[in-house]
Copies of this chain bind each other. A is one copy, B any other.
């Protein structure tokens, strides 16, 4: 008989039906007469209760049903006597598929710290928290593809290995097949990259945007969804060396269209989570509340589901960087010296504390800031007529701060080349990028969403290492 998934059993109302379920034992408890086994197979946050007659199965077998052991149960669906579930299963036959030595297994049914669970990242999928996160992560991946597909966008796989280092030089991972113990040298004694695999120095991509623009200049509307890399030596709860980014790029979009799309996109994703992951979100909400029990009330997060609805139900406030700086300059925390980085006026780079103040305290709504000073933004952003600000946009969220960064792109060849010169970006290496401005150039825009930032927001987790299955951080590339 084919196995039925636990999620399907729990939804079933076929009382009396015989089924086979397989999964891992979470707990076993009971009396001398009857044992209750909580079985989980990863399909849902909920366990299926298996009722096992002690006399029928005998102590020897039942003792093997320790936490973490894998079993197959043939049994009959019955209406549940307890309050938790609608149904449970009375076991007719139990087979131990894989034993699990309780003296060795690190995931005993007690509270484990998130730090400890990171150390056993190969097993943490078997916990409620991390299986919930994995299911929500999947739902968000699918929602991303669903959103863009329904709008006719084309997903483009931009390259991971790249010879271009125009953004973020110095924070890139080098990729090479050269023998490090015997590096090939040129006659002048320099490393001879012509002998490397690609015939030149290569790195891991920091963004698919530039290649995404190439695609948009033929396909119209595209998006990337792939891994990106930063070799930044930051050991914080917000940084990963390897993370996933979604970068849509759209021909014929100006800044307003870009903001409309970003807002619609984020709301779609959050609505999708609420519509498809309520079980997991409720669990994650409880987890967060328990985690924050010890905190003062004013330091606690907004309840998770309430926070998600907050984004859905509010129009995002749109204002310029200048306006935001004025608000921040005159704000109480600035005047009282409560910001770690005081705002002195126009030109200040905004930190997470400022972004969160605007969203959480001042507007009490998500915020989109636009028209930043050119000095603090990238070379490819379209210059405003004032010649001093660029058509950038950052979407700011509670808890997270910046969740999306984007801009209208400079489509004018001469202006773009000028800006590259000013910023010491070698135009000759970027001939292919500049070609899009030489041949049928059009206004276009795009943005980037750090997928793990979104995951932090949707799950309420506090550390970015807990929302990606196998985090890569300084001194850590386990599993």
A→B interface (CB under 8 Å): 3, 5, 7, 22-25, 41-43, 68-70, 97-101, 104-105, 107, 121-127, 130-131, 134-135, 137-138, 141-142, 145, 149, 152-164, 173-177, 180-181, 183, 191, 197-200, 202, 204, 211, 214-215, 217-221, 226-227, 229, 231, 233, 241-242, 244, 251-252, 411, 432-433, 435-443, 468-470, 472, 474-479
Instruction: Give A214 Cβ to nearest chain B Cβ, in Å.
Output: 5
Option from B7, B231, B436, B443 in Cβ contact (under 8 Å) with A97: B443
Q: Are A162 and B469 in contact (CB under 8 A)?
A: no
Report chain B residues within 8 Å CB of A432.
121-122, 478-479
CA of A122 to CA of B233, assembled, Å: 33
A127 to chain B, nearest CB (A): 8
Tell me which residues across on chain B come within 8 A of A154, comparing CB atoms: 42, 134-135, 137-138
Give the contacting residue for A175; candidates B5, B23, B175; CB below 8 A.
Answer: B175
Nearest residue (CB) in B for A213 is B122
**Copies held by the complex:** 2
What are the residues of chain B within 8 A of A69 when measuring CB–CB? 440
- Can you name the residue of chain B whose Cβ is closest to the Cβ of A471? B159
Q: How far is the CA of A199 from the CA of B475 in the complex (A)?
A: 5
Smallest distance from the beta carbon of A2 to chain B beta carbons, Å? 9
Q: Which 3 A-B residue pairings sit nearest by Cβ, starting from the closest?
A: A125-B218, A98-B441, A42-B219
Interface centre among A97, A137, A159 (most CB of B within 10 A): A159
Task: Please determine whether A141 and B131 come into contact, CB atoms closer than 8 angstroms.
Answer: no
| Complex interface: chain B residues within 8 A of A440 (CB) | 24-25, 68-70, 97-100
**Contact assessment for A197 and B439 in the assembled complex, using a CB-CB cutoff below 8 Å:** no
Given contacts A173-B176, A174-B180, A476-B198, contact A131 B219 (CB under 8 A): yes
* Complex CA–CA separation, A477 to B204 (angstroms): 11
Instruction: Please tell me which one of the listed residues B157, B183, B199 contacts residue A468 in the complex, with CB atoms under 8 A apart.
Output: B157
A142 touches B155 (CB 8 A): yes
In the complex, chain B residues whose CB is within 8 Å of the CB of A121: 432
A411 near B98: Cβ-Cβ < 8 Å: yes
Distance A104 CA – B152 CA, assembled complex (angstroms): 31
Q: A22-B252, A159-B242 are in contact. Are A220 and B41 (CB under 8 A)?
A: yes
Q: Which of B105, B163, B251 contacts A477 (CB 8 A)?
A: B163
| CB contact under 8 A between A160 and B227, given known A152-B7, A155-B141 | yes
Complex alpha-carbon distance, A160 and B161, angstroms: 11
Which of B3, B105, B127, B176 touches A176 (beta carbons < 8 Å)? B176
